[in-house]
Chains A and B, each alone.
Chain A
Amino acid sequence: MALPQVKQTATEARLAAMTRPDGAKWITEIREAALARVSDMGLPGARDEYWKYTRPETLVQPEAPQAATFDDDDEQLFHEFDRLKVVFVDGVFSAEDSDDLTLEGIEISRLADVATQDIHWAKDLYGTLETNGQTPVQRPLAALNTAYAADGIVIRVTGAPSKPVNLIYEHRATGSDVLLHHVIKVEEGAEFTLLENGPAAARLNKVLEVDIADTGKFHHIRAQGRDHERRAATHIFARLGRESAFKSFTMTANGALTRNECVIELTGDDAIAHVAGACVGDGDFVHDDTVFITHDAENCESRQVFKKVLRNGAVGVFQGKILVKAGAQKTDGYQISQSLLLDGDSQFLAKPELEIYADDVACSHGSTSGAIDETALFYLRSRGLPHGIATDLLTLAFLAEAVQEIEDQDLQAEINTRIERWLERRRG
């Protein structure tokens, strides 16, 4: 079917501005197929139902809008944790800044290297989950990423590595337009933690594909921010095998536009998928969490917990769907999305959806939007807490349900401290 003219034009303009990276035959074929998908679908436009709440123009336009780099006066996140650091500067892997990539129980390579190899296991995974994730809803920016991303990390986990891998992003050029594509394969019984943080670019398009084999476990803690002008479209595509677990948490602070899509398919029985997010936005801030979880096996559990604190005209969006396919009996699906509006200017737009084709399931979802609890605020102040501190305490309490989704207590504390500091800075 022909695309609407506006979409066609926008898509062509963007594609004309891109260069496809070199690579071996296998990846070139995958990239060409992805490019064909983009041309078929067209890039997101303001009229697309899936982009009803968030305007995609700046993510689509040929040139990335300029974004000032952010000098963080705070210590680097996770700096006290034993971790293997992998650094990308404006989207390019930096061997100099990174640790040695060898670690027992895990193979780590750079996508740019893998792409030149005649044969590589990543051939069966790169772009595969992204392709599957294009139905029933199209995600053209992810296909664009598969077609053009030149760098990223490719990881195969075979055991239980002694420390997490920490992807650290640095943004140095004000106009950097970055595509990153990570591929992770967690083999049977293996367990792995991925950490991500740092402003990556003026405009970031990132895809993370995670394939978790039976009984494998994947933990993911990501921090976005505190750069103000960034625009980012990220996608996580995950496939879960039998008795496997996927737990992903994202903290977002600041950012002109962030759209985080998470597409999860539970394909083996007794698997667990938890995805959570806590975001804090002040002023020029649009944050969109779009989640799609498909239950295609029995007795699986999924949880979505998203909390947003918005002030001074910040905008929060949540689109979350649980799809339970026929035969996915004993599904346990939970979804909650809430916003705390600290003033009358901010807004939260939510579209929770359930689509269920099995009869023996327990799914619940809820969405709320509210102001600070005045009764609680007075109670705290009557004990001597200044207005600002009392508000922050209640704000942290509001976010707690999401932050507590982080299993590791130390990481949970680390994230909490950062949110605390973010609030503190605004208190002056």
Chain B
Amino acid sequence: MLEIKNLHVKLEEEDKQILKGVDLTVEAGKVHAIMGPNGSGKSTLSYVLSGKDGYEVTEGTATLDGEDILEMEPEERAAAGLFLAFQYPVEIPGVGNMTFLRTAVNAQRKARGEDEISASDFLKLVRERAASLEIDADMLKRPVNVGFSGGEKKRNEILQMAMLEPKMCILDETDSGLDVDAMKLVAHGVNALRDQGRGFLVITHYQRLLDHIKPDVVHIMSNGRIIKTGGPELALEVEKNGYADMKAEVA
């Protein structure tokens, strides 16, 4: 589904190489986890895939179901089925959460040549999916992420994901800042979407989340590269020994 080959990325503004040849393939229906120390380039990878300005791809490719996504506008990538749950969800004063969700759902439908969702169907769907994430009516009415707690913001990301039903979901440290209960809600939200052939790329620091979202493959990223790939046991190894040993192995 998502195929990243030899991806090299530098900052547009300065001569700083951040990704130094990333290779990664996420198959339909699979959950891949990326772990790695701070500053290793995990968020950068997620931003480059979703089309944020400020980065320059100097080498390599990234395709979604065979389509080159790096050439697309961010909204085209979204319509193609890519979704990023942000590490730091953005507050947007003055834009109601509900308006935002409806506009997004309809924009994607339109881009795919589908009809807009009716107001009542939409409302029903939001209420149902919000309820399972314990997002109340008040949070839906408020401006996007404004005044939300850290946990509320992360749950709001998952709600957007649930509404947009993307085929490839990237979650950037969705677990950080969550207490155990909130993490279970988020994991439950992800697992609910897991069937139906969706691909997931879960970026995390902790084994904790992976207890609830069981990964098929675990990658370790360090200094702009995937330095090790393995099964779920790799996450347990990191939990026990940290990254130092692995870094030494490749060095």
Contacts and interface: CB of A to CB of B under 8 A. Distances in A.
Interface stretch (A52-60, A78-86, A215-223, A397-405): A397-405
A398 to B, nearest CB: 7
Contacts of A393: 95, 99-100, 103
Contacts of B86: 379, 382
Contacts of A386: 73, 75, 107, 111
Interface residues of B, number: 29
A380 B143 CA distance: 13
A385 B103 contact: yes
Contacts of A373: 92
B84 interface: yes
B75 A385 contact: yes
B111 A398 contact: no
B107 A397 contact: no
A376 B74 CA distance: 13
What interface size band does chain A fall in? 20 to 34
A394 interface: yes
A383 interface: yes
Contacts of B31: none
A380 B160 CA distance: 11
Contacts of A384: 75, 78-79, 104, 107-108, 111, 164
Interface in A347-402: 373-376, 378-387, 389-390, 393-394, 396-398, 400-401
Nearest to A400: B94
Given A380-B100, A387-B75, A375 B107 contact: no
Given A383-B100, A385-B107, A393-B100, A376 B90 contact: yes
A381 B92 contact: no
A387 B79 CA distance: 13
A385 to B, nearest CB: 5
Tell me the dominant secondary structure on chain A's binding face. helix
A300 B142 CA distance: 31
A394 B74 contact: no
Contacts of B103: 385, 389, 393
A342 to B, nearest CB: 16
B147 interface: no
Nearest to B91: A376
A378 B52 contact: yes
Contacts, number: 77
B94 A389 contact: no
B93 A397 contact: yes
A381 B95 contact: no
A396 to B, nearest CB: 7
B232 interface: no
A69 B67 CA distance: 51
Contact of B75 (A381, A396, A398): A381
A400 B95 CA distance: 9
Contacts of A379: 86, 89-90, 92
A378 B52 CA distance: 7
Interface string B146-179: 0000000000000010001000000000000000
A307 B37 CA distance: 45
Contacts of B74: 378, 381-382
A382 B78 contact: yes
Contact of A394 (B50, B53, B95, B160): B95
Contacts of B83: 382
Interface string B61-89: 00000000000011101110001101001
Interface centre among B53, B90, B94, B164 (most CB of A within 10 A): B94
B21 interface: no
Contact of B107 (A376, A389, A396, A401): A389
Contacts of B79: 384
A397 B104 contact: no
Given A396-B95, A397-B95, 15 more contacts: A374-B53, A376-B92, A378-B51, A380-B100, A380-B104, A383-B107, A383-B160, A384-B104, A384-B164, A385-B107, A389-B103, A389-B107, A396-B94, A397-B94, A397-B143
10 contacts: A375-B90, A378-B51, A381-B73, A385-B75, A387-B75, A389-B107, A394-B95, A396-B95, A397-B92, A400-B94
Q: Which 7 A-B pairs have the closest CB atoms?
A: A397-B94, A384-B78, A384-B108, A379-B90, A381-B74, A383-B104, A400-B94
